[in-house]
Amino acid sequence: MEFLISIYERWREIPRWQKWLTITSIAVVLFLTLYFLRIVPLSEQLLADKKKLEHLRLTVNRLKVIERKKNKLEKEINNLKRELESIEEKLPTGKEEVSRIIRSISEADDGITVVSIKRGSPISKEYYVEVPYSIELKSTYPQFVRWCEKLSKSDRIINFGNLPIRAIRSENYTISVSLQIKAFNLKR
């Protein structure tokens, strides 16, 4: 307590201008201490937060652009899926039996006689199954051409393979055909 009293007495003896200078110096030191201890770190933190905020804004803007592109692509994918489904509906299901189709076309045309239809072993491919058939027919050439046209218009994807044609002499027929065809079924 005596220490404080001695300081007070010395303070009273100092001239007034020195008191103001001392108070001003102490205020400046306190202000600078407060500035460097509190305000500078806060301003650095504020600057770092502003940079982080700007980075987040850029990220949000990029994500919005990506989301718009994603929505556009999803719409395009959905349209393509609908288009694919409509195309798949037109493709043969594989339920149509080729031998039945061949016999029905032959029966509709009196000039064709199916001697035999032999189905081969199915061959599995990546997207479809290939089923080979060996067919023997007797007919006249013009009737055979019409029969081929009708077969090509059936609801099946059919490829003609080997087509050896032999001339024969008969009352109703002029050719004998050993036809190799391949029918295709889409894998679902």
| More confident of the two residues 96 and 137 | 137
- pLDDT tens figures, 47-71: 999 999 999 999 999 999 999 999 9
pLDDT at position 110 is: 65
| More confident of the two residues 114 and 95 | 114
- pLDDT tens figures, 146-188: 888 887 777 777 788 888 888 888 777 888 888 888 888 777 6
**Kind of pairing, strands 165-167 and 157-160?**
unpaired
- pLDDT tens figures, 7-43: 888 888 888 888 888 889 999 999 888 888 888 888 8
Q: Is the pTM of this model over 0.85?
A: no
The yes-or-no verdict on residue 94 having pLDDT over 90 is no
**Beta-carbon contacts of residue 131 (< 8 Å; ≥ 6 apart):** 98, 119, 120, 122, 123, 182, 183, 184, 185
pLDDT at position 182 is: 86
Please state, rounded to an integer, the average pLDDT across all residues of the chain. 84
pLDDT at position 67 is: 94
Q: What is the rounded CA–CA span in Å between residue 149 and residue 112?
A: 13
Beta-ladder partners of 179: 135
| More confident of the two residues 57 and 139 | 57
Average pLDDT, integer, range 84-90: 76
| More confident of the two residues 113 and 57 | 57
